[in-house]
Amino acid sequence: MPPAPLPPHLAHLPLPPPAAEVVGERLRRVIAAEIEAGGGWISFSRYMALALYAPGLGYYSAGSTKLGAAGDFVTAPELSALFGRSLARQVAQVIGQGIPDVIEVGAGSGALAAELLNALDASGDLPERYLILELSADLRERQRSRIKAAAPHLLPRVEWLDTLPPQVDALLLANELLDAVPASLVRMSEGAIEEVGVALADGNFERAARPATGELLAAAQALNLPHDYETEINLAARALVRSFAATINRGAMLFIDYGFPAAEYYHPQRSRGTLMCHYRHHAHDDPLTLVGLQDITAHVDFTAVADAAIDAGMRMLGYTTQAQFLINCGITDLLAETPAHDARAYAPLAAQAQKLLSPAEMGELFKVIGFGRGVEGPLLGFVRGDRSHTL
């Protein structure tokens, strides 16, 4: 395949370093070979799976920085210790009901794990084991180093899993996992429901649509999509939530992510979906460039998440905004532990809290959804402002 320079509409983005381009080019060849082997087409979800997770080459599997100021995007645990410290209060409440283990899925740099473990240690609420399920071998190593540096005495409690354990009593949590799960793209065009995929044209990737079939067609039909409409349906995220629910004998699940209930997600005005790419803190909507060098995400349909967990026999414990959840967990008390007159310490923390809570930043768009089996509600994070009725 010819090298892939940035297309004109992305010419303002910084060029990747040559070493990254080499990895990107190898990944493009892998994807192109799969398209050829598939008769000239692969689904978008398969393309996204390869672009993000192809072993050693995908965005999350290769060695780029990814998270944080030096990477492509910033998540709440990267932004502020206040996030993990607030969440720790919720985790402590569940552990207090005799739930021994925490499972974090998709732990990124390990920032949340390190913060949670230290906060739970300080409050005397440590889990017996902190289990991490992480697809990326590169990130597993970073998580281990991060926890070793921040909480060396707690490292023996941390175990990395290759698969979900059968039937555990645990609190499973995941921050910004579901948005990174490969989504299918569907298009409603002249009354027909099509699945958008990726084909090759002169050695470059291009979108190409085929009639949708099977489970995807049924899911799209159920949404009653308007005409001339393109959106995502995340069957893999639904399956993942079902498998998480099946693993929990007694315990809870908490997912934190950006997204909406189905009625808002599939609103007629959102006619081009929610697919986004993140590259060096620039957001754009072209997933077919910078292959393997940029994050690709879709917002989360929280109604589908709720249906999947409830189908798998769990009980809804709450759904609210990130701002409301963190306030319910006491983020303002945690902020107040730093005296406001100590401006050097207080000002950056207050700015971080503002980012986590402000409706114009992460406060409204990000949501928290919780499910339980054999645990008592209400959960601390949902005591006020529960919006489950909107799902």
Ligand X SMILES: C[S@@+](CC[C@H](N)C(=O)[O-])C[C@H]1O[C@@H](n2cnc3c(N)ncnc32)[C@H](O)[C@@H]1O
Q: Which residues bind ligand X (CB under 6 A)?
A: 60, 67, 75, 77-78, 105-108, 133-136, 139, 175-177, 180-181, 240
Rg of the chain (C-alpha set): 21
Distances (CA, A) of 12 to 5, 46, 224, 248, 296: 12, 28, 38, 47, 19
Find the shortest distance in angstroms from Cβ 297 to ligand X: 7
Is the CB of 187 or the CB of 278 nearer to ligand X? 278
Q: How far is the CB of 59 from ligand X (least distance, A)?
A: 9
User: Of 139 and 262, which CB lies nearer to ligand X in the complex structure?
Assistant: 139
SS3 199: strand
Encoded tokens for 227: 């005409």
* Least distance in angstroms from the C-beta of 56 to ligand X: 13
Contact call for residues 277 and 52 (beta carbons, < 8 A): no
Q: Give the nearer residue to ligand X in terms of CB position, either 142 or 187.
A: 142
Minimum CB–partner distance for residue 362 and ligand X (Å) = 11
* Paired residues of 130 in beta bridges: 102, 158
Whole-angstrom Cα distance, residue 302 to residue 257?
9
Q: Tell me how far, at minimum, the Cβ of 71 lies from ligand X, in Å.
A: 10
| CB nearer ligand X, residue 24 or residue 110 | 110
Which of these, 42, 123, 97, 37, lies nearest to 330 by C-alpha position? Answer: 123
CA distance 37 to 381: 48
Closer residue to ligand X, CB minimum distance, 99 or 139: 139
Q: 330: which strand partners?
A: none
Please name which of 295, 297, 298, 293 lies closest in space to residue 27, comparing C-alpha atoms. 293
Closer to ligand X at the Cβ: 74 or 199?
Answer: 74
Is the Cα torsion angle 163, 166, 170, 176 positive or negative in sign?
A: positive
Q: How far is the CB of 44 from ligand X (least distance, A)?
A: 16
Report how far residue 261's alpha carbon sits from residue 151's, in angstroms, rounded to the nearest whole number.
Answer: 37
Residue showing the smallest CB distance to ligand X in the complex: 106
Number of residues that make up the chain: 391
Q: Which is nearer to ligand X, 131 or 262 (CB)?
A: 131
**CA distances to 164, 231, 343, 357, 387 from 364, in Å:** 31, 21, 27, 8, 12
In the complex, the smallest distance separating the C-beta of residue 11 from ligand X, rounded to whole angstroms, is 26
